[in-house]
Amino acid sequence: MIEIILLVLALIVAVLSACVLLLIKQNNTSSPVKTKTKSNTKSTAAKNQILVDTSAIIDGRIADIVKTGFVPGKLLVPRFVLAELQNIADSEEPMRRSRGRRGLEMLNLIRENSAVELDIIEENPEDVKEVDHKLVYLAREYGTDILTTDYNLNRVATIEQVKVLNINELANAIKAVVIPGEAMRVKVVQKGKEKNQGLAYLEDGTMIVVENGDKLLGKEIDVEVTRIFQTVAGKMIFAVEQGQASKKPTQAKKSYTPKPTRPKH
C-alpha cells in the first residue's frame, strides 16, 4: 500500500515539474517578442519625429512641404529655437525682422495644417552653448533626424552621425533632369552678366542662360540646351535659340582671337 502511495506521489511530482518547465519555456519564448515589439514601437515613434532648425522655419518652404504630405509624423521645435526665432522677429534690422516674422507665420501655418503635428519641446541642455550643438544633442537623445537648410549644422550633425534632412538638397534632387540637345520653350526675362546673354528660368527656379538672348527680352522662344553647369547653389543651363546651335561653332571659330603669350626672359 505504501509503495502505491509513493508511486502516485512520484507521478504527481513529475507532472508538476513538467508543467513548471513548460511554463518557464513559454515565458522565455514570449519575452523577446514583447521586448522587440516595445523596441519597434519606440523606433517607429522616433522615425516619425523630425527636429526642426531655425533656418528651416525661416526658409519658408517647410509649410509647402508639409502641405504636400511628404513629412510624416510629428515636427519637434525646441523652445530655444522658438526663442531665437522671436529674437530675429524683434530685430531692429528690417530684413532680419521680416525673416523672423515670416518664420513665426510658417509655424502658425504648420500648426493649422492637420496633416502633421507640431510640438514645442522644453528640453534645453544648459551645458551645451551653441544652438547647433544643442540640436545635435537633442536629435541623439530623441533618436530623430534634423530638418535644416544650414550648411554648418549639416556638417556638425554629419560628424556626430546624426541624419540631416536638408531642404536645399531636396530642392536640387527634385529639379527636372535636362540633357544637352533637349528643346524647351522659355521666356527671356532679363539680360545676363555677360555680353549678348539673356536669362530665363524654369518653374523650379533653375536659371537658363540664353546666348544672344539680350535682344529677345520679354519674348517666349524655343531654345536648345547646349550644356549644363553644376554650381554649389544649384544647376545652370546654357542654351541657344533653336536653329542657332549648329551655327554656333562656326561663329565661335571665326570670332576666336588667341590670347597674347608672356614673352620669355
- 202 and 131 within one domain: no
Q: What is the pTM of this model?
A: 0.59
Residue ending a domain, choose from 173, 205, 225 = 173
- 159 and 62 within one domain: yes
Low-confidence ranges of the chain (pLDDT < 50): 29-44, 248-265
pLDDT at 245: 63
Cell numbers standing for residue 15: 507532472
Q: Within a domain: residue 3? A: no
pLDDT at 126: 83
> What is the crossing angle of helices 94-112 and 61-68, to 10°?
10
* pLDDT tens string 39-93: 443 444 556 899 999 999 998 888 888 888 887 778 999 999 999 999 999 999 9
- The answer to whether residues 194 and 207 touch, using CB atoms and an 8 Å cutoff, is no
Q: Within a domain: residue 25? A: no
Residue ending a domain, choose from 115, 149, 173 = 173
Check residue 221 and give left, alpha or beta (phi > 0: left; psi -120 to 50: alpha): beta
Domain that holds residue 228: 182-241
pLDDT at 175: 75
Q: Within a domain: residue 151? A: yes
- Identity of the amino acid at 40: N
Q: Within a domain: residue 201? A: yes
